[in-house]
């Protein structure tokens, strides 16, 4: 079963796209509500090859299993959120008539969640062995207004470093300073989104793995009312993303 597509390259950089999958196996009776998908995000990061970055792209939707949640389904944030196997959307709409049993959750964890994380771990280990260190850039997007999850309007760029624990202070500062240089985009560091399981679990600066989550407001790069990148918007955002990543690499 092709759960994840890994494009292996040799720079000390891994870009993970855990929420871009759209497939849902026919035997899973979930409502096909894909609003929470990180639509077309690899197209926004089309400079990954130029940076010689390894990328991981999952096949299956986060409605099947959320790759950015811990395997024990421990909550990452206080207040409203979604779990390892979501039973409702961000806006609270139910996804199931009958919620999945614990045995079904365990099956999905083993079938869909674990292969992605095995692949991610293997790539991080490979690049640390090759370079002595690696940057993990965990790429996400979200609507800038979701009242159930947060008040008001989200910043354009939400940089998450688990309050500075998932990367070195130099990398955290370099990414933030790159964002400061582009005041056409609002930004925040370790605000509502401090980094999910991937950032928190794999970001171990003491072991030379530095992780940053980038949560983009979808309005910065998608067309109005569409699920596809708007090239005029993307042309403004791409250089900023690339500059932040290159600044982080320089600070490794």
Write the pLDDT tens digit of every residue in 201-246: 999 999 999 999 999 999 999 999 999 999 999 999 999 999 999 9
Q: Are 141 and 218 in contact (CB under 8 A)?
A: yes
pLDDT band at 77 (very low <50, low <70, confident <90, very high): confident
The mean of the pLDDT values for the chain is 96
pTM, entire model: 0.96
pLDDT at position 76 is 82
Which residue is associated with the tokens 């000390």? Answer: 12
- What CATH code is assigned to 4-250? 3.40.630.40
pLDDT higher than threshold 80 for residue 131: yes
Q: Tell me what percent of the chain is helix, strand and coil, each rounded to the nearest 5.
A: 30, 20, 50
- Which residue matches tokens 């003491």? 206
Give tens-digit pLDDT for 9-61.
999 999 999 999 999 999 999 999 999 999 999 999 999 999 999 999 999 99
Show the 3-state SS of 59-123: CECCCCCCCCCCCCCCCCCCCCCCCCCCCECCCCCECCCCCCCHHHHHHHHHHHHHHHHHHHHHH
Q: Is 45 helix (H, G, I), strand (E, B) or coil?
A: coil
Task: Report percent pLDDT > 70 for the chain.
Answer: 99
| Orientation angle between helical segments 231-250 and 169-180, nearest 10 degrees | 150
Q: Is 216 helix (H, G, I), strand (E, B) or coil?
A: strand
Give 55's Cβ-side CA count (13 Å radius).
Answer: 19
Taking a C-beta distance cutoff of 8 angstroms, is the pair 175, 46 a contact? no
Closest CA to 36 of 69, 78, 75, 4: 69
pLDDT at residue 80 greater than cutoff 80: no
């Amino acid at each position: 079963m092709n759960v994840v597509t890994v494009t292996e390259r040799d720079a000390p950089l891994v870009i993970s796209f855990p929420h871009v999958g759209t497939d849902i196996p026919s035997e899973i009776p979930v409502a096909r509500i894909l609003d929470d998908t990180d639509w077309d995000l690899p197209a926004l990061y089309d400079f990954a090859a130029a940076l010689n970055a390894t990328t991981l792209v999952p096949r299956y939707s986060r409605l099947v299993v959320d790759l950015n949640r811990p395997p024990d389904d421990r909550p990452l944030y206080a207040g409203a959120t979604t779990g390892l196997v979501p039973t409702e959307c961000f806006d609270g709409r139910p996804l199931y008539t009958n919620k999945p049993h614990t045995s079904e959750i365990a099956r999905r964890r083993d079938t869909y969640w674990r292969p992605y994380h095995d692949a991610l771990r293997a790539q991080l280990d490979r690049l640390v062995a090759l370079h002595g260190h690696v940057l993990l850039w965990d790429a996400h997007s979200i609507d800038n207004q979701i009242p159930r999850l947060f008040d008001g309007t989200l910043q354009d760029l939400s940089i998450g470093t688990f309050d500075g624990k998932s990367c070195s202070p130099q990398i955290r500062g370099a990414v933030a300073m790159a964002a400061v240089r582009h005041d056409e985009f609002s930004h925040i560091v370790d605000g509502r989104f401090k980094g999910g399981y991937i950032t928190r679990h794999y970001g171990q600066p003491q072991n030379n793995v530095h992780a940053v989550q980038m949560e983009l407001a979808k309005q910065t790069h998608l067309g109005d009312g569409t699920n596809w990148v708007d090239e005029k918007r993307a042309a403004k955002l791409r250089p900023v993303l690339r500059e932040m990543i290159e600044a982080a690499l320089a600070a490794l």
